[in-house]
Structure 1
């Protein structure tokens, strides 16, 4: 215990062993759905479902463990949910890439991410963001998590650009509402492990309602076919320069700001950042995201990022990398038990995501709403994340609007040059993404 305390600085951060283990388990339960969702999306590009499932478990497990040890932050790593969509529907279906060529894009973007995470530019971009933006990041990520939980539970439907109320007469939305209220009572009663206990009770209540479906088998033999020897570097060159640059820039920008937004937003709410909003261990965590992305490309999965669902574990008391190590170990232990993944339904996930999203809204009180040059970009950043279902797009709206408003107010000279560079990158990425 003393060795763990000394290595992970448990006492220094006011953490306990029980809180770290409980937090790691909660984060795992909030992320376990990825074991089915990521392969489901990538199989649309022609990849083998079972092999991608094994690769997802391996990357989430090893990546989270290494990140926890290197950064001592309670953030688990896994293939981000937005990247398989970009991989399958943009690169493979729109650009005409094979999955072997798309994995090369993932590998190259991971290498670029590694370079960026170690360069002085990373710290410069981080320091350039005004402090109110870091509070806005927390609130935006909270709304993003909440919307994700409500959609997965069927309480809200999203059909294209149309968002509507789900069918409340259906068993899953009703179970999700019951789980939210039940978890809220446990939180108010200050029951230890309220979030994970609420998920477990929701799963059990879902059995008689037919929402939780018991698997026919408990164990399976993991299948893994490393894609390293199948990467098609030369075939990728036939895409042409503009699609190639557009694809790499999209992946790099999305991964960088998805990770940055999650790290700063969630850590700020958990009081892990200092008075300037900086996060100790951020460089190491982002380096691990890049390294895991490179390894994932060789195994056959899309880009890896810090998961916003880590906020559920932090809500349960996680404050150090020990919780990330715990989450990673559970992913590795899950390799022969992947059929059990289906027990954690959208209804079970709704409660922790809604409760965490609610708590992350507290930072908006620190934003100076009477000054338009701060309030408008902050507001666009907050609403942009859930409305576009993208953390990166929310950051883009905030940064570009801040630069425009400051220039219009005659305060262009007060802006950090790094913000001009960042706005230019966002605009270039948007323009390239609209080209055929």
Structure 2
């Protein structure tokens, strides 16, 4: 594809698809990067520095392709999400981005959600694990090692809603009350109404991806998290469709919790994944009180947002928490945290979340040696007390580093560990 305002690297090779969810990855791939808004201008380059070093330490090279979204895109294109940005990620298949802020009246409810939908990146994956040396509000943060698979395209994040006082909301209200017989549900006066779509297609492909991950990474369980006791035909249906995937598609590799106890007295077969389910509000309690009993969580969009943030609090906060969005043969890495505009350009904030999101990108490329280097080097840097301000103020005798200095310290440790 020819690009108007994007500079394509003169060196490097494209990642190519060899199957529906299989890639051919060269040793010198072109990787698109969006720095993002607010602190993205600080953490984006920091992540670049670290990921470049890990690639070079393992005999590879990343050729960065700078893309624009949010404020930088408004300056360059006069719009928030240019077609060039979307098409470049679609063409090159693997990318990384920093946080984006959606301005009021910008045309999208969320630029992050818009990117995921346009590229059909249907699985938002958030691994939550503790790094040695990171202060935590819980006494045993090392027990936290969960991966949340959050459906990206449906639920209330689909953005199907009508504003109070509009003709449209009155039409929907009339339809619900008169045509559907729910005349005792909606209060009189101004009201906003939204629709919560949950499909068999979207639910099953998300659960399938979670089970595949559990099998590939030797995880013991996949927990379907839902509020199906109340929302029986949306979240309850998600639960039922999830069990259908487990029952019908995996044979002896997967066993449900009911079968586990009814037929095997709680003894799981060796190398099998147990699929169970939990009510969402109970799950928010159990990630704290029974942390070590859960491995992989599969859930809908809003539940996944709440639960992954709650898990992130146990390992030191969102400045540590990585994430990535996956589709079939595509991925876009992005940290869980927001853009924090008041810290923009101060070279101050913690870049660990986007660096570890980049680690997920390296794993997706099949560069597990480089990915392991990143994790180990970040952990070594933090455990030695060389940290950014957010951690330094919680630790004794720590050395406070700027964002860029922290990245340089991680690179030093990558080179020492390689």
Bigger radius of gyration? 2
TM tier relative to shorter chain: under 0.3
Higher helix content, 1 or 2: 1
Q: TM-score if structure 2 supplies the norm length?
A: 0.23
Higher strand content, 1 or 2: 2
The answer to which structure, 1 or 2, has the higher relative contact order (CA under 8 A, 6+ apart) is 1
Q: TM-score if structure 1 supplies the norm length?
A: 0.23
